């Protein structure tokens, strides 16, 4: 209980900043740490700061004693459209940006205990999702007032790394997770098919704690070539009791397992190139992966059999995603400049866009820029910029005929700007 109380005291001031919404790789962050984001999110084989454990805990063996503190401004632009529906007042364009500015904190600390052993802690926003529709896109089905969701996830990850040899390390991190969620404006027609209609929408924030783990390896194959690999278990979260009538498994919302591999190559002394592949297993979380049975001609019976909130109840229908990240860093004098590109496979099928009006995590292509100024031997000031290009998923058979038919189309683009300062000891 003392540990939980201490963690609550430490992180709630960060969580309760004006919201977090990450939603760049499904609902996960593109990268962890301002330096990583500036290089397209790479980090599995290229540890750069005190946030290294968030991508691969083995990397903390190679960053030295340091503290890094940062803040990122994030601005997603969310829209949806309903067309061809026979439901009165359904068709139209809907703007989900009544809240559009979010601030995401990060803190990393690493200490070298010996030439072989290092440890530290990383505190960072792992994932999030937010929509806020001033005009309810579900108004045709009884939705009143604003509609939207707000999900924030923050991780505290203490880690240890051990150098097997001077060039090869293994690492482990414990992921202590806190998340909070609210949903509002979900229409009464959905509540007809809920196991707990009073715990589906408009209940304010609910929160839960959980834990998981991450392991990793980093190795220098040659002085110029480094490889890395990492795996994070599912993070087992407590249920959202206030939303046990919305999420499958009576309010379950665990954080998906994910894994990745990476390579970093120092092409010339001043230029480093890096590539990461990552897979996020959204399909392993029922509340995220279960699909609405929109193609079932007896959808009413199907929803009565597997109601919202039940063990096999509908979710957002997301698929696992594959993420490809490419980054470059060039150093000259006291400056390092960075650039990167990342591609994410589409998590949302065309048949599942109706419910995902609330969670349109559709962006796929990301372009990033960044820079660091070394302020003497102990200080570093870093900045990053990310643009996620607009992506649209047009619905196909997305609104059941029992609800009036038609299609729900969803789209999003994003911008972010981060700044961080690092102290080396």
**pLDDT in single tens digits along all 425 residues of the chain:** 444 444 444 455 454 444 566 678 999 999 999 999 999 999 999 999 999 999 999 999 999 999 999 999 999 999 999 999 999 999 999 999 999 999 999 999 999 999 999 999 999 999 999 999 999 999 999 999 999 999 999 999 999 999 999 999 999 999 999 999 999 999 999 999 999 999 999 999 999 999 999 999 999 999 999 999 999 999 999 999 999 999 999 999 999 999 999 999 999 999 999 999 999 999 999 999 999 999 999 999 999 999 999 999 999 999 999 999 999 999 999 999 999 999 999 999 999 999 999 999 999 999 999 999 998 889 999 999 999 999 999 999 999 999 999 999 999 999 999 999 999 99
Q: Which two tokens stand for residue 118?
A: 């290092």
The count of structural domains within the chain is 1
Res 15: pLDDT: 47
Domain assignment of residue 77, given as a range: 2-424
Q: How far apart are CA 73 and CA 301, in angstroms?
A: 45
Strands (E), 345-403: 365-375, 379-393
Res 19: pLDDT: 55
Residue with tokens 């397209």: 40
CATH label of the domain that carries residue 101: 2.40.160.60
Query: Taking the alpha carbons of 188, 190, 196, 200 in that order, is the dihedral positive or negative?
Result: negative
Quick check: 190 and 308 in contact, CB under 8 A? yes
Q: Which two tokens stand for residue 307?
A: 């109601």
Res 23: pLDDT: 76
For residue 327, which phi and psi values (nearest 5 degrees)?
Answer: -140, 160
Q: How far apart are CA 375 and CA 390, in angstroms?
A: 37
Exposed/middle/buried for 88, CB within 10 Å: 0-12, 13-18, 19+? exposed
CA dihedral angle for residue 264, residue 345, residue 321, residue 370, rounded to 10 degrees: 40
Q: How far apart are CA 355 and CA 362, in angstroms?
A: 13
Res 376: pLDDT: 84
Q: Which two tokens stand for residue 107?
A: 């803190």
């Amino acid at each position: 209980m003392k540990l939980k109380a201490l963690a609550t005291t430490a992180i709630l001031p960060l969580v309760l900043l004006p919201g977090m919404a990450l939603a760049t790789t499904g609902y996960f962050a593109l990268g962890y740490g301002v330096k990583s984001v500036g290089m397209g999110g790479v980090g599995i084989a290229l540890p750069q700061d005190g946030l290294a454990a968030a991508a691969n805990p083995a990397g903390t063996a190679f960053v030295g004693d340091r503290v890094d503190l940062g803040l990122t401004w994030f601005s997603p632009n969310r829209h949806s459209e309903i067309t061809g529906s026979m439901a009165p007042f359904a068709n139209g364009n809907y703007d989900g940006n009544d809240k559009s500015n979010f601030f995401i904190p990060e803190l990393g600390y690493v200490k070298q205990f010996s030439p072989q052993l290092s440890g530290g802690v990383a505190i960072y926003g792992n994932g999030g999702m937010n929509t806020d529709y001033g005009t309810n896109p579900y108004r045709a089905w009884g939705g009143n007032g604003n509609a939207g969701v707000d999900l924030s996830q923050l991780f505290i990850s203490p880690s240890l790394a051990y150098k097997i040899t001077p060039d090869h390390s293994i690492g482990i991190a414990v992921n202590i997770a806190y998340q909070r969620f609210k949903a509002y404006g979900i229409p009464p027609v959905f509540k007809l098919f809920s196991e707990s209609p009073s715990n589906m929408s408009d209940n304010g924030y609910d929160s839960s704690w959980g834990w998981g783990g991450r392991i990793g390896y980093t190795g220098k194959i040659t002085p110029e070539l480094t490889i890395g690999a990492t795996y994070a278990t599912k993070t087992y979260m407590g249920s959202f009791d206030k939303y046990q009538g919305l999420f499958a498994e009576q309010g379950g919302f665990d954080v998906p397992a994910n894994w990745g591999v990476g390579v970093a190559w120092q092409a010339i002394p001043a230029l480093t190139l890096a590539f990461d592949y990552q897979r996020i297993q959204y399909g392993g979380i029922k509340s995220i992966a279960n699909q609405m049975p929109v193609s079932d001609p007896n959808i009413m019976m199907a929803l009565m059999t597997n109601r919202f909130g039940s063990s096999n109840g509908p979710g957002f229908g997301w698929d696992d995603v594959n993420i490809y990240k490419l980054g470059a860093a060039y150093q000259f004098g006291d400056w390092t400049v960075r650039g990167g590109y990342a591609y994410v496979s589409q998590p949302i099928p065309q048949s599942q866009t109706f419910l995902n009006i609330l969670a349109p995590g559709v962006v796929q292509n990301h372009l990033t820029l960044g820079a660091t100024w070394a302020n003497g031997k102990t200080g570093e000031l870093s900045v990053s910029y990310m643009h996620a290009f607009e992506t649209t998923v047009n619905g196909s058979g997305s609104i059941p005929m029992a609800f009036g038919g038609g299609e729900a189309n969803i789209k999003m683009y994003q911008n972010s700007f981060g700044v961080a300062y690092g102290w080396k000891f």
